Structure 1
C-alpha cells in the first residue's frame, strides 16, 4: 500500500486516490473474512447447541436483525461522521460480537448468541454502507468501473475466511478461540486500513459529493419514494438472497440433502465464494463493455440455472458445477446495485442506505423463511423460493442503467 493519505493536492492526487482505493480494498476483504469465519462454523454451532433447522434459522436471524437496525441509521451516521470515521469505529468494534456469540454457544445459550450476532450485524451493516459510499466516490475519482473489484475483495476475504474456518473445523479448534483470533485480526486491520483514506473523501475528490452533508433527515428519507431506488432494491434483494442463502444454508443443504460431511460442506461453500470472487474480478471490464443491464440479466440467468442444478440434480460433479454457476451469477448484483445507487453523489449515502436496507431484507427474512420451509420440505426444496427472487431481480435489471446526466463508469 502507498503511505497513508492526508490530503489531495494535485501533485499527490493520483497517489492519494490509489492509496484510498487500496484502503477500501482492505476494508472489503476484512469484512468478508470476518463474516465467513463465523459462517464456516455454523454446522458446529448447530451440533453444539443441538438446534433444529428452524432454530438455526432464528440464530442466523440475529445478524439480520442487527443489520436492518444498523442500516436504518446508517445514512445519518455516515453523513455525521463521514465514511472514514464510520468504518474505523463500527468495523473495529462490531467484530467483537463474534467471540461474544461463540462464548454464548459454549455456554449453551442460543439467546445470547442471537443478541451477540445482532450487535455484530448492526456495526457491520453501518460499515457496509460507509465502505460502499467511499468505494463509489473512489470509483468516480478513478473514472472507470471498479466497484465489482471492491466486492471481489470481499469475496476473496470470504474465501480466506472459509479456508480458515475449514482448517479450524478439521483441527477441532474451539469456536471461542477461533472467533477471538478473527476479531483481533479484523479490528486491527480496520484501524490500519482507514489510515489510507482521505480525511474527507468527498470534498477531496468531488465537490458535488459535499451536498450529501447538507441533506436533512427528511431529504434522506425521501429517496424511498423514488421508483428507481425501489427497483434497485429489488435487484439487490434478489441477488443478496441468492448470495445469502448460499452463505447461510449451502453447507447444511449439502450435508442434509446430498450426504456430505461438515468439512466437505464448508469446502463447497468455499467453491461458491471462489466463483463469486472470479465473477467480480472479471465484472468491471464486462460492465464497461456491455453495460449494467445486459450483464445483470446474464447473471440472473446463470444463477437460476446453477441453483436449479443444485436443487434438482444429485450427481456430485454436476452439483459442484451448479454451485459454480450459482456463484458466478450472484456475483455482480450487489456491487452493481450499490454503484447504481451512488450514481447521484448528492444523495449517495441516503440512496445506498435505502437500497442496501431492501437488500438486507434477504438476510432478515431469508434465514427463518428457508429454515421454516426446510423443516417441512427439505432445505434443497426450500431454495426454490430463491429462484423466484432471482427471476424478479433479472426483470428489474433495467433500473440499473446509468442515468444520462451522470458520467459514472459502467
Structure 2
C-alpha cells in the first residue's frame, strides 16, 4: 500500500533516520495501549464495576479498533502514512485523556467508554499507517526488518507496564498518569513521524481490490479463524491478566501491573528470537510449539496454586502468544498480488476476537471468577492446533531466489 520506490539507491543515512522514526512510532503506540491495560484494575475499582460490566466497557476500545481496521486503509490512502499517523495519534492521546478524566476526576462509565472507543480507533489507524511505512522501509533496505519494529512495540508495552506499576506504587492518580502518557505519546510521535518518506500514497489500481473474492477462499478463511483464536489468546491476557491476579491471588493493583509486564516482556522476547526459529524450522512446527506453550502457560497461571508458579505460567503464556498474530498476517500475504485483500479479510476476522473476548471472559468471570474464566483460552487453542497447517507457505518457484545482503542471515 505504497508508492513504488525510486530506482535510484536511497541515501543510507536517510533510510536510517526513517527506520528510527518508524521504530519510535511503534514503541510509543505500544506505550499508549499498555498504559491503559495496566490501569484496568484501578479503573474497575474507581467505577465500581463487576466482571461482566467491565467486560462490556472493554468492548468499547475493541469496537473502535475494529472500526479502524475497516477504514484505516482508506484513511492512510487519502492522508499518506505520515499524516495518518499524526491524526490517529491525536485521537489516541485524546482518548487517553478522556479515559483518565472519566475514571479519576469525574467518574463516569459512559464517558470512559467514549474515551476507550476513541483510543481504540486511533490505535487501529495508527497501526495500519505505521506498518505501511515499515513495509516500505523493509523494501528499501532489502532484508527483513519488520519483526524488529514489532519487537519495539512490545518493548513499549513493557516500559508502560513498568511505569504504570511505579505510578500505582507512588499513588499517582490514574487521571494524571494517563494524561502525562498522552502528552509524551503525541509529541514524540509527531516528531518521529516527520521522518516518514517511503510509504507515500498508494498507486490506485484500475482493477478491483479483490476483497470479496478473498472472502470466498477457504485457506484465507481458515487462516482468519486461526488468527481469531490466537488474537483471543493475546487479547485475553491484555484485558484480564492483571485483574485475574488481583482477584485470584490477592495481588495489589501495582503487583497486577507487574504481572501484565511479565506477559508482555516474554512476548517481546518471543518476537525477537522467534524469527530465527521460523527461518530454521518453518511456520507449522514453530506455531505448534508456541501454541502448546500458551496452553500450558494459561493452565499453570490458573491452576498453579502459588503466586510464583502462576506468574511463571504467565511468562509461558506470553512466550507462546508471541508469534501467532504476526505469522498469520505473513501467511495471508504469501502471494504479493493478493496480499492486501487477504490481509484485510484476515485482520477483520482476527479483530473479532477483540470484540468478543472482553465480554465473554467477563461474563464467565461473573460465574466462576476471572482467574478460572481464563481457562477458556486453552479450550479454544487445543482444537485450533488442527488449523496450523494452513499457515504453510505455498510452493514457490525456484527461479526467484531470496535476496541476501551482506550481514543478513535469512530471506524474508
Shift of 1:393: 4.2
Shift of 1:200: 3.6
Q: TM-score, normalised by structure 1?
A: 0.89
Change (3 A) 1:221 1:44: same
More helix by share: 1
Shift of 1:372: 0.2
Whether the 8 Å CA contact 1:149–1:284 is kept in 2: the answer is no
Shift of 1:279: 0.6
Whether the 8 Å CA contact 2:10–2:140 is kept in 1: the answer is no
> CA deviation digits over 1:367-393, x for unaligned, max 9?
011000001011122112111332344
Secondary structure of 2:360 counterpart: helix
2:150 aligns with: 151
1:192 aligns with: 191
Unaligned runs of 5+ in 2: 403-410
Match of 2:92 among 86, 91, 94: 94
Distance in structure 1 (CA, Å) of the matches to 2:101 and 2:312:
37
Change (3 A) 1:215 1:389: farther
Shift of 1:240: 1.6
Unaligned runs of 5+ in 1: 1-6, 203-209
1:396 aligns with: 387
Secondary structure of 2:251 counterpart: coil
Shift of 1:128: 1.7
1:60 aligns with: 58
Shift of 1:216: 6.2
Shift of 1:326: 0.5
Shift of 1:43: 1.1
Whether the 8 Å CA contact 1:132–1:338 is kept in 2: the answer is no
> CA deviation digits over 1:157-180, x for unaligned, max 9?
001011111111111112222111
Distance in structure 2 (CA, Å) of the matches to 1:35 and 1:134:
20
Change (3 A) 1:313 1:342: same
Q: Does 2:370 correspond to 1:370? A: no
2:181 aligns with: 182
Distance in structure 2 (CA, Å) of the matches to 1:136 and 1:292:
20
Distance in structure 2 (CA, Å) of the matches to 1:80 and 1:224:
25
1:302 aligns with: 293
Structure 1 range deviating more: 51-60 or 350-359: 350-359
Change (3 A) 1:304 1:146: farther
Whether the 8 Å CA contact 2:52–2:366 is kept in 1: the answer is yes
Whether the 8 Å CA contact 1:238–1:359 is kept in 2: the answer is yes
Distance in structure 2 (CA, Å) of the matches to 1:235 and 1:25:
28
Shift of 1:250: 0.6
1:109 aligns with: 108
Shift of 1:141: 4.1
Structure-to-structure mapping, 1:112-127, within 5 angstroms: 112-127=111-126
Match of 1:353 among 328, 337, 344: 344
Shift of 1:215: 6.1
Change (3 A) 1:129 1:309: same
Structure-to-structure mapping, 1:2-401, within 5 angstroms: 10-105=8-103, 106-200=105-199, 213-214=204-205, 219-401=210-392
Change (3 A) 1:216 1:264: farther
The size of the alignment, in residue pairs, is 396
Distance in structure 1 (CA, Å) of the matches to 2:229 and 2:222:
11
Whether the 8 Å CA contact 2:65–2:123 is kept in 1: the answer is yes
Shift of 1:22: 2.7
Whether the 8 Å CA contact 1:236–1:393 is kept in 2: the answer is no
